[in-house]
Structure 1
Amino acid sequence: MSSLRLFLSRRWVLFAITVALLAWLAWRLGEWQFHRLEDRKERNAIIERNTSGPPVPVAEALAVDDPVEKDEEWQRVTATGSYDTANTVIIRYRTRDGAPGVDVVVPFTTTDGPALLVDRGWFGTDERNLGPDDVPAPPAGEVIVTGWARTDGTGDSTAVHDQSARAISSERIGDALDLTVYGGFVDLESETPEADEPLERAELPELNNGPHFFYGLQWWFFGALAIFGFCYLAYDEWRKLRSERAQHATVDRDHHPADER
């Protein structure tokens, strides 16, 4: 029992507390990864459900001053109207495969009245002063567009200056252009008739579960490894202490034999 008092020393108590904190942190991080996995599965199910259905009229899917909810994102919508090219908004700092470029958002005046913000796609360029007149034009006249409903961006990146922004917000763009717009926006899937110079269309997100399952297992493994390492070091210390005490006892018996008492 006296050998176990070793572990009541300041060094071992602090060591045990540190290992316990590390194990607890690893457990929480593992749980966080598994929660992210469940969120990813839920997101994938929503995307798969919404993209597999036929497109619905925009007035049935979106509304003015009504943001697109997460469970409505990637729903296919269609609208008839014309592009308002004079109010084109450039979304800067968009890259694809490492190449610089911009997304081109054009308000689409629908026959129902409100404007629908259409992200027509990506245009590769390293021109920092690119303006609305410098990007390929959409088709003129009456157009039928089909696209995927998207939720608005948030934060300072959605601020609109000189018809440019770093993220898309229907509220910010509508206010900047003085337009009545549907909440959210759409990533263009198709337009009829086609533009003379189409932009690179948005791609649907990958429907995989990502690395979260294995990351969660790794965090739990690290936590278990910390506990195992602590127990092994404690056992090794205890074993060495017992061995040293046994050796001292043997030396004492050799120097003080019973017949010399």
Structure 2
Amino acid sequence: MPRLLQPRLLGAHLLALVLVATAGLLGYWQYDSWQERRAAEAADLSDLEPEPLVDVLGPDDPFPADKVGQPVEVGGTWVPTGTVYVSGREHDGQDGYWAVTPMAVGDSDAPALPIVRGWVADPEAAPAPPTGPVELVAWLQPTQGTNEADSDRSDDILPQVRTADLIQHVDQDLYGAYAVAIEPLDGLEPATLEQLPDAGTFTALKNFLYAIEWWIFGAFAAFIWWRWVRDLTLQEDEAEDADPHPVPSEP
């Protein structure tokens, strides 16, 4: 029988196996918890029940990172003179534009929320900007910031939905966000969401560190078992080399 499979050693082997397997499973459990919590933070909110805009975002508030794609109910008055068209937007594989018109949330002098009314292949074929009061449901999005420059500030074509560009087209303050109408308006094609929540860098970091800690513990247990087996084997080899033909002691 191989010396390492001797009955007197099986208990030690079994203990090492149990320790390594337990550490591995606990590490996997913590790693899975880390992934689940990050996935929960990055969950798609677009199918949730809409909330009043006032309960989600104020005109001077920074965009809440956990509300990307949240449906909101918003009402106010269109600001048709602030209508712009955002280039580089696709619909069914065709390049085109978003039609964006600000909505003064509340009265006509209140801060405005840019609303993506829908998609159009050519701004010249777009319907006239809407006027008057309006109530709608839209997906909330943080303004974009790709640093792509607006090459011609004299027209109403923009490369992105960025507050610094939009503010040039209105006479009032803007929200630090925009919204995409769930139902396209004025006969436009629907616009699609471009941004969904991201899990933060430090989301569930403790679970990830616990997973690494358990795996290190398992590796350490495996190392101790290996050292013990190696030392035991060396001791027995040295004993055999020192006395290859031991003489049985007399009773």
TM-score bracket relative to the smaller structure: 0.5 to 0.7
Cα distance in 2 for residues equivalent to 1:187 and 1:28:
37
Cα distance in 2 for residues equivalent to 1:28 and 1:172:
45
State the one-letter code of the partner of 1:179.
D
Correspondence 1:1-261 to 2 at 5 A? 33=35, 36=38, 39-40=41-42, 48=48, 51-53=49-51, 63=59, 66-67=60-61, 69-70=63-64, 74=70, 75-81=72-78, 83-84=80-81, 87-92=83-88, 94-95=89-90, 101-108=96-103, 112-113=108-109, 115-123=112-120, 132-133=123-124, 136-138=126-128, 140=130, 142=132, 144-148=134-138, 150=140, 152-153=142-143, 155-157=145-147, 159-162=149-152, 163-166=157-160, 168-174=161-167, 176-177=168-169, 179-183=171-175, 184-190=177-183, 194-195=185-186, 197-202=187-192, 224-254=214-244
TM-score, L = length of structure 1: 0.53
TM-score, L = length of structure 2: 0.55
8 A Cα contact 1:116 1:182, kept in partner: yes
1:228 Cα deviation after fit: 1.9
Runs of 5+ in structure 1 lacking a partner?
Answer: 1-25
Deviation per CA, 1:163-193: give whole Å up to 9, x if none. Answer: 3123x2334311x3253243132222347xx
Among the aligned pairs, what percent are the same residue? 15
1:76 Cα deviation after fit: 1.2
8 A Cα contact 1:84 1:109, kept in partner: no
Aligned pair in 2 of structure 1 residues 224, 247: CA closer, same or farther (>3 Å)?
Answer: same
State the one-letter code of the partner of 1:121.
G
Equivalenced residue count is: 205
8 A Cα contact 2:85 2:97, kept in partner: no
1:158 Cα deviation after fit: 6.8
1:106 Cα deviation after fit: 2.6
1:247 Cα deviation after fit: 2.0
1:77 Cα deviation after fit: 0.2
